[in-house]
Homo-oligomer: A and B are copies of this chain.
Amino acid sequence: MPELDLRRQVLADNAVAAEALRQRFAASRTLVVNLISSPGSGKTTLLEATARELAGRLSLAAVEGDIATERDAERLRRVGLPAHQILTGGACHLDARQVARALGEAAFPPHDVLFIENVGNLVCPTSYDLGEHFKVVLLSVTEGDDKPFKYPGIFSRAAVTVISKVDLLPHVAFDLEAVREQVAVLNPEAELLLTSAVTGEGVQRWCSLLAERRAALGG
């Protein structure tokens, strides 16, 4: 089978598994968020802050995708967020079957919101539907303001763009308006949030967004 046909087949198989996940999430009224970014943009740190902010209001769980190490799942468990680590070996993204298997193994207590923290990579995770309600892309201000147009796939597909580490804005050259304009071109519907794990900026707004979207599922 030539490479392109094989890729189509892999994505078609993934779509079937993603649809099964979507039905499962709909039945349990679980809001599912697929977090995608470069390595080190602050996905796990945002989830730590989210767990603290939403404690007692919404119940959370997380599936963590990494090439190697259990570090991220351990970090989340330390803040009371049940987390299951998927080790992909060499693979540069999660797929829907891995997520289904992880949910079977994790046996999470009932939860309102499931976070799927993808492998740190702005490219590969973009094409793989994990049955989520929406994708979130994180871009830290230290990565530069040229990234949306350089990685248009994820910025056009993410319902929410989180600009993270805004506490570092005074120390780096980062044109926030340029990023806003690129995101508006790629995805006019996208919400753009600014966050800082250091100052706490934006965390409440992010959590309100999650609470509203979870409430919209009813139940």
Q: A39-B122, A168-B171 are in contact. List 14 more A-B contacts (CB 8 A).
A: A38-B39, A39-B144, A40-B144, A41-B143, A67-B123, A69-B149, A90-B123, A92-B92, A92-B123, A119-B123, A121-B122, A124-B124, A140-B142, A168-B172
Which residue, A1, A120, A147, has most C-beta atoms of chain B within 10 A? Answer: A120
Q: Which residues of B contact A67 (CB under 8 A)?
A: 123, 150-153
Q: Which residues of B contact A129 (CB under 8 A)?
A: none
Binding site for B on A (CB under 8 A): 1, 3, 6, 10, 38-41, 66-69, 71, 90, 92, 119-124, 127, 140, 142-144, 146-147, 149-153, 165, 167-168, 171-172
Copies in the complex: 2
Could you tell me the distance between the alpha carbons of A28 and B30 in the complex, rounded to whole angstroms? 60
Q: Which residues of B contact A10 (CB under 8 A)?
A: 3
Q: Are B150 and A38 touching (Cβ within 8 A)? A: no
Q: Which residues of B contact A146 (CB under 8 A)?
A: 69, 71
User: What is the distance, in angstroms, from A62's C-beta to the closest C-beta of chain B?
Assistant: 16
Q: Which residues of B contact A143 (CB under 8 A)?
A: 38-41
Q: Which residues of B contact A152 (CB under 8 A)?
A: 67-68
Contact of A39 among B1, B90, B119, B150 (CB under 8 A): B150
Could you tell me the distance between the alpha carbons of A153 and B121 in the complex, rounded to whole angstroms? 14
User: What is the distance, in angstroms, from A65's C-beta to the closest C-beta of chain B?
Assistant: 11
User: What is the distance, in angstroms, from A110's C-beta to the closest C-beta of chain B?
Assistant: 30
Q: Are B69 and A92 touching (Cβ within 8 A)? A: no
Contact of A1 among B6, B40, B124 (CB under 8 A): B6
